[in-house]
A = this chain, B = another copy of it.
Amino acid sequence: MIEDKNQQRTKLSQFGEFGLVEHLTKQFEITQDTTFKSIGDDAAVLDFKDEKVLVTTDIMVEGVHFDLAYMPLKHLGYKAVVVNISDIVAMNGTPSQITVGVAVSNRFPMEALEELFEGINQAAKFYNIDVVGGDTTSSQTGLILSITAIGHAAEADLTYRSGAGEKDLIVVTGDLGAAFMGLRVLDREKQVYLVNPNSQPDLEPYSYLVERQLKPEARTDIKKLLKDLEVVPTSMIDLSDGLASDVMHLCKQSGTGCSIYEDKLPLDPQLINVCEEFNVNSTTIALSGGEDYELMFTIRMEDFEKVKHNPHLSVIGHMTDANAGMNLITRGNHSIPLKARGWDAISEDEDAE
């Protein structure tokens, strides 16, 4: 579907390991004053003075987390960075550095790796972070990306999963489920392409969903927004696995239950249309579709007035006593237990219908 029009193919084996890392990382500029020394020694040297240091790591595997049939390498590099800095943001921290580990088979030419690193560099520039370490090696099959993100925060700003109170309100940023349906659209187009390679897909009606899948963004803007609104979040997590699964993390670690209101879930109009087209329940998608990389956080009830008309924020429910369990309150006012289901589970459900 996405054809590689790059005719240049330089074999990776032409480069030694050092040449390869040097070639791929020379474009990275250092802009952060917390970066004391970057790539080129045994380790990077960072300086956070009196702030706490945040560290998170993620590993992404071809065929599991991404399909290069519809994920261009530049987008993959960008997304891999976003996924990781989203975890720093979810601590209410400021991301400042990443290290990149890549294992890649020889079927990829140098130009493919350059694309990947170009995407990494674009994300680094957009989010004001430095790439301070890297390891590039061969793999026997496929592409594996491992990124560690580093950030910092004043102790008073740190927001854990465990801080929610029993009556706190649950807030999400942006809208839900779009990244998952974007993947469904891309997967459908791939199947069409496999049958008829001359087909010209029209992705225009799905542009928002596809962009949410291929080029998600981390909500680095929310820390400042909450400061400006004078709201101190009591707990926070990023929406990577799906709302149902992620709210369970907050509840479990805060020792609470929750009520999520179906009619409060923020859905983009394009999502609603495409869910109808695919004959899937948009509430299921909003609850269980992952990879939105929006933030979910809790606030004290008395802060409701400060957030209620903000276009970036939706209050979708509230915490409860742990004994009440974790529930979805449907439009028909029924209370049904939330289930944490991954993407596979969604497909299985549909098959079962």
Contact = CB atoms under 8 A, between A and B. Distances in A.
Contacts of A42: 56, 87-88, 90-91, 161, 236-238
A201 interface: no
Interface residues of A, number: 66
Contacts of A41: 91, 160-162, 253
B43 A99 contact: no
A44 B37 contact: no
Copies, count: 2
Interface string A26-64: 000000000011001111111111101111111111111
Contact of A139 (B50, B61, B97): B61
A122 interface: no
A6 interface: no
Interface stretch (A140-148, A208-216, A316-324): A140-148
Contacts of A161: 40-42
B158 A45 contact: yes
A244 B150 CA distance: 33
A45 B54 contact: yes
B59 A146 contact: yes
Contact of A56 (B16, B43, B49): B43
Interface in A59-112: 59-65, 87-88, 90-91, 93, 97, 99-103
Interface in A120-155: 132-135, 137-142, 144, 146, 148-151
Contact of A146 (B43, B57, B149, B342): B57
Given A99-B148, A142-B140, A161-B41, A48 B53 contact: yes
A52 B64 contact: no
B101 A55 contact: no
A143 to B, nearest CB: 11
Given A139-B144, A140-B141, A133 B55 contact: yes
A53 B45 contact: yes
Contact of A135 (B52, B58, B142): B58
Contacts of A160: 37, 41
A92 to B, nearest CB: 10
> In this complex, which of A62, A63, A140, A241 has the most chain B Cβ atoms within 10 angstroms of its Cβ?
A140
Contact of A140 (B61, B100, B133, B253): B61
Given A58-B135, A64-B140, A146-B59, A46 B37 contact: no
A137 B64 contact: yes
Contacts of A61: 103, 137-140, 144
B140 A43 contact: no
B55 A97 contact: yes
Contact of A52 (B45, B54, B90, B141): B45
21 contacts: A43-B90, A43-B91, A43-B151, A48-B48, A49-B50, A55-B148, A56-B133, A57-B100, A57-B135, A57-B148, A58-B101, A59-B135, A59-B144, A59-B146, A61-B138, A61-B144, A64-B139, A103-B144, A139-B142, A141-B141, A144-B146
Interface of A: 16-17, 36-37, 40-50, 52-65, 87-88, 90-91, 93, 97, 99-103, 132-135, 137-142, 144, 146, 148-151, 158, 160-162, 236-238, 241, 253, 342
Given A46-B55, A57-B146, 5 more contacts: A41-B161, A42-B88, A50-B50, A61-B144, A103-B144
